[in-house]
Structures are given as structure tokens and as C-alpha cells.
Amino acid sequence: MGKTFQFECSLCQYHARVVGGADHGWHCEVQTVICRDCRQLFDVYTRVQRREKAMARVKFPGFDLPEIPPAVLLNDGTLGKLVWQNSPLACPINPKHVIEPWNDPGRCPRCGNFLEKNGFPFRRWD
């Protein structure tokens, strides 16, 4: 079961709801990345369990939906055998942006101060 936490910067008031590194659930694996162009943190899928006849590429929503768990976004209603599909790390806003993996403890993408992690998970998923 994966856990999403709230990270906050005490200097510039930036906040993000992300895993804070690599995590996995039953049907997906995610990694937190920092996008140098957007100056934001994102959780991106690195590996997903899909139906064999499902779409070839995982589609990201164009906006942050913290109330919807990742497993709901991955279910497209097709039938067939479950297979694991690897996905390259890319910014969900623009795949051409410069990104790198981010792990807690890490620095704020806006000001460079260390982010503070809330002790309780914001959400448990999958």
C-alpha cells in the first residue's frame, strides 16, 4: 500500500502532496520527481500493471486530483491478462521538461530550502 504525504517549505510556503521518493501499491509503482522547468514536485508512474489489450501509454490527468487514488486512473475497463508495463520518467505537464528523481529529505523546487514532511500520511492508496 502506498502513502502520500504533504511536504511544506517554511521559507516560501510551497507545498506538495507526493510520495517523497519511490513507493508502490498492488498495481503500480511511482517515483517523486522534481521538474526544473515547472519548479514543482510530481509523482509519476514508473511501472503499472495493465490489461494486455489496454492502451500502450499511461495517460496523466492535466491537473492534480489528490482525492482520486492512482488505481482509479489506471483502470480503463478492458478485459484480459494482467501484465507489467514500464514507463519512463517524464514531467506530466510537458515530457520535454528537465526532471530528476527526488527523495525525502529533499530541497524545495522553488527556493532550495529543505521541505518538511507531515508526520501522518495525507492518503493511503492501492
- Write down the pTM of the prediction: 0.74
In a domain, 126, yes or no: no
For residue 8, the cross-strand partners are 15, 116
In a domain, 103, yes or no: yes
Q: Is the pLDDT of residue 112 over 60?
A: yes
The model's pLDDT over 56-71, given as tens digits with 9 standing for 90+, comes to 544 544 444 444 445 5
Quote the percentage of the chain above a pLDDT of 70. Answer: 75
In a domain, 87, yes or no: yes
In a domain, 76, yes or no: yes
Number of domains in the chain: 1
Distance of CA 22 to the CA centre of its chain: 9
In a domain, 122, yes or no: no
Cell, residue 53:
489489450
The model's pLDDT over 5-41, given as tens digits with 9 standing for 90+, comes to 999 999 999 999 999 999 988 888 899 999 999 999 9
Work out the mean pLDDT of the chain and round it to a whole number.
Answer: 80
**Structural domain that includes position 112:** 2-117
In a domain, 96, yes or no: yes
